Structure 1
Amino acid sequence: MRLAIIRIASIQPRASSSISEPNPTFISSSLLLWNQFKPPSTKCKFPKIHLKWKQYQGINHWEGLLDPLDDNLRSEILRYGYFVDATYSSFDFNPSSLTYATCLHSRKSLLSKCGLGNYGYRLTKYLRVTCGIHVPTWINKLFKQSCTRSSWIGYVAICENKKEITRLGRRDIVIAFRGTTTCLEWLENLRATLTHLPGHVVGEDGVGPMVQKGFLSLYTSKATKRASLQEMVREEIGRVIQKYTNEPLSLTLTGHSLGAALAILSAYDISATFRNPPMVTVISFGGPRVGNESFGKQLEQKGIRILRIVNSDDVVTKVPGLLVNLDDVAGNQDVHVGIWSKWLYKYIEDMQLLYADIGQELRLSSKEFPYLNKGDIALCHDLKTYLHLVKNFGSSSCS
């Protein structure tokens, strides 16, 4: 079923961890809240899920686990959320710094410096993203640091601790992505029209799989001396799959905001590139829409499981583009309204703005917490807010 027309939007609020730049009016009431989400620096005590790990990875679309939220699944969502948070706390946000838009830590020290040293994972690959937008030379000279085309966006980490592998029931590979930070990444976000995936033909419905133009540009663009994000992901995952081909594997891609969109594109690309890949799951925090309904069907056919964690007060999860309920259009009793709706639907489709929400949704709401400022768009979108909502969510019938 397609949803009713609800909004037009393409601009996303700031997608960075507000722990680095907190709202001054919110500091006193949020300090204890943010401190709750420092990953445990001592030995982790996550639940044993080896007998049902495929269920927690979404093999059955998390049926019966989301409402009420299963405590083991909650623990796994928070665990992956900490992997994403590490991308923010490791990123150099200072445009005047010589290391701007790079990682502040070495591959060997990042996880330990971010409180994840006892999670049993080893970081194997840093990932960078390159913007496909070319700015005029004079702007580039004037704002050289701010207009950097390539920047560090995340990493690949592999579970290597035997006890953790036993607890999980398989060897887990994590790919974690941060959200939007640089000026050119913001400009890519604004390229909200849909574009066809390379190498795909039009489907039976007359429309082939399409994704947001800016997200695809970020995933596939490369610099003269630097590989694209797509090439880096393919190379590393190919190496890992070949190395651990004889044991149970899972591939978990997780990200916040822009990172959630790139996680979905990466998951699709991995499943399309490698024959018989491991089980691929996406844990998405505050992600925008990525593609059309045909793209969603492609993901489903390839067995990719996507859990969209959504704050109903977060604007980013409602953009870009439009959602249309074609069933309502077809069943409308008012002839004039029906004709108008069909014309509008066709117009939106021709404008390449007809998006679809993809994956299974865990819907949360910051309205349940009176000390969260509903008017602060950035706060509603913040990763720390999402972790807080996940930690405290019971069910839709019980706040």
Structure 2
Amino acid sequence: MSSTFSMTLVQSASPTDCNLAFQINSTLPSPAHLVSNKNGEQGSQSQHLCDMWRDIQGAHNWNGLLDPMDPILKSEVLRYGNMAKVCYDAFDGESSSKHYGECKYSKTSLFDKMGMSECGYRATKYIYANTNVLAAPFVEKAKDRAVWLGFIAVCESEKEIRRLGRRDIVVAWRGTQTTQEWIQDLRDFLIPARLSYKCERTSKDHGAAIAIANDGVRIETGFLSCYTSIISHEDSKGKSVNKSARGLVNAEIRRLLNVYKNEIDNLSITFTGHSLGAALTTLSAYDTKNILKANCYNNIPVTVFSFASPRVGNLSFAKKVEDIGLKVMRLVNKGDVVPKVPGVFMNEKMGFLSRWLSWLPWTYFHVGVEVSLGNNSSSHQKSVAYYHHLEVYLRLLAGCKEDNN
């Protein structure tokens, strides 16, 4: 995020994206309640989702599904939005807590504790990241060097697999919660991605290793640091692990692809997140799609459903996202400032000038398809933080009226 906006938001709210000082009075409708059949009657999305899941995952860039938004697509985006919300609700952000910076629940109980026992997914891996930027006395706790940022889950319910039409792997990221993460958000200059890829399958399956050059791809410094910095933490078995968030994600997806290697033709990988989590969602999905491409798994759909995403990279990054076939849907509340940063003064809206100056470390480009939510103006004055809140996004997507409190 740009320095100007980030400091404004820090001053107007506590250093967290979702634990803000207001409440949403009405509950969100269940995604299943939003689905109608072709005759406009209330019905079950299982009637159609299994037949059109590739379109829902963006195979044709959601052409014909957005104006107005198809009810099945809306239901699925809401479902993934609730996955992102789990990352906030399950995070222990109390600085006085013994388990500060960790997930409150084990992988086996995560969805049960979140009231999602019927979702059909099982969490298989927790994502930790090194979000530490400044040394003492600025560090809140040593644990900030390995904080919980999200999870990877796989659909295991046969009933849900039939409804979805395939087996789905979800990678969900949370947004900013700690002071160190706010500092990462402020590091809004572009640096080379330096993400390399090679074929990891045996030579029996493929010939020489494939390397994909970065081709000038640059990523916001703070986002890239969160994703690639090495961390040290203990896994569930008490074994010391030295990996980056990138290493954890890539290793788990590689493992799951091996487990479900007989289902490759009916498998999807979906990334979701909000705010900082949306940026990490886009970056990790880009990374995963490149790895799959290098290993001849390009037929596996990789889709991003991001909420309130800031800009992540430069023009080369935006072009590369399109070239490799990564499908990105960005949901943007019209009243939210975060999707306008970084790159306030030099971005994709500047036309030829932004392309001519794309070499500068402050020229950012959004990626994917943008879906606007809410109105440009409101009859009620609301804080900057309100418009950025994930639950407000979900309420607007569901068609609920804005909260007037």
Aligning the two structures, in what range does the TM-score lie when normalised by the shorter sequence?
Answer: 0.7 to 0.9
| Alpha-carbon distance, 1:327 to partner | 4.3
The corresponding residue for 2:157 is 161
Q: Which segments of 5 or more consecutive residues in structure 2 lack a partner in the other structure?
A: 33-42, 197-211, 234-241
1:37–1:384 contact (8 Å) kept in structure 2: no
SS of match in other structure, 1:363: strand
1:366–1:374 contact (8 Å) kept in structure 2: no
The corresponding residue for 2:332 is 310
2:28–2:394 contact (8 Å) kept in structure 1: no
| Alpha-carbon distance, 1:37 to partner | 5.6
Change (3 A) 1:202 1:234: closer
The corresponding residue for 1:269 is 287
2:387 matches 1:387: no
Amino acid paired to 1:272? N
TM-score by length of 2: 0.80
> What CA distance in whole angstroms lies between the structure 2 residues aligned with 1:317 and 1:244?
36
1:38–1:115 contact (8 Å) kept in structure 2: no
1:111–1:117 contact (8 Å) kept in structure 2: yes
Change (3 A) 1:390 1:182: same
Change (3 A) 1:98 1:46: farther
The corresponding residue for 2:37 is none
1:8–1:319 contact (8 Å) kept in structure 2: no
Aligned match of 1:228 in 231, 237, 244? 244
1:74–1:391 contact (8 Å) kept in structure 2: yes
SS of match in other structure, 1:69: coil
- Which protein, 1 or 2, shows the higher relative CO under an 8 Å CA cutoff with sep ≥ 6? 1
Aligned match of 1:144 in 134, 141, 144? 141
1:364–1:393 contact (8 Å) kept in structure 2: no
| Alpha-carbon distance, 1:36 to partner | 2.2
| Alpha-carbon distance, 1:220 to partner | 0.1
1:156–1:173 contact (8 Å) kept in structure 2: yes
Residues 60-86 of structure 1 deviation map (CA, whole Å, 9 limit, x = unaligned): 000011111110001001100111111
1:39–1:82 contact (8 Å) kept in structure 2: no
2:176 matches 1:180: yes
Residues 275-314 of structure 1 deviation map (CA, whole Å, 9 limit, x = unaligned): 1332100000011000112101111111110000001110
> What CA distance in whole angstroms lies between the structure 1 residues aligned with 2:327 and 2:400?
22
2:6 matches 1:11: yes
TM-score by length of 1: 0.81
| Alpha-carbon distance, 1:162 to partner | 0.7
> What CA distance in whole angstroms lies between the structure 1 residues aligned with 2:17 and 2:31?
15
Question: What does 1:14-53 correspond to in 2, within 5 Å?
Answer: 16=16, 18=18, 20-23=19-22, 27=23, 30-32=24-26, 35-36=27-28, 46-48=45-47, 49-53=49-53
Count matched residues.
Answer: 352
> What CA distance in whole angstroms lies between the structure 2 residues aligned with 1:100 and 1:154?
15
2:250 matches 1:250: no
Change (3 A) 1:379 1:350: same
The corresponding residue for 1:333 is none
> What CA distance in whole angstroms lies between the structure 1 residues aligned with 2:127 and 2:3?
32
The corresponding residue for 2:35 is none
Q: In angstroms, what is the RMSD of aligned CA positions?
A: 2.7
Query: Runs ≥4 in structure 1, deviation > 3 angstroms?
Result: 7-10, 12-18, 37-40, 44-48, 137-140, 199-203, 324-329, 366-370
Q: Which segments of 5 or more consecutive residues in structure 1 lack a partner in the other structure?
A: 1-6, 330-340, 395-399
Aligned match of 2:254 in 217, 222, 238? 238
Residues 92-131 of structure 1 deviation map (CA, whole Å, 9 limit, x = unaligned): 1211111111111111111011121101111111111112
Residues 319-364 of structure 1 deviation map (CA, whole Å, 9 limit, x = unaligned): 01131556465xxxxxxxxxxx99xx64xx4541100111001111
SS of match in other structure, 1:284: strand
Q: Which moved more, 1:155-164 or 1:194-203?
A: 194-203
SS of match in other structure, 1:79: helix
The corresponding residue for 1:55 is 55
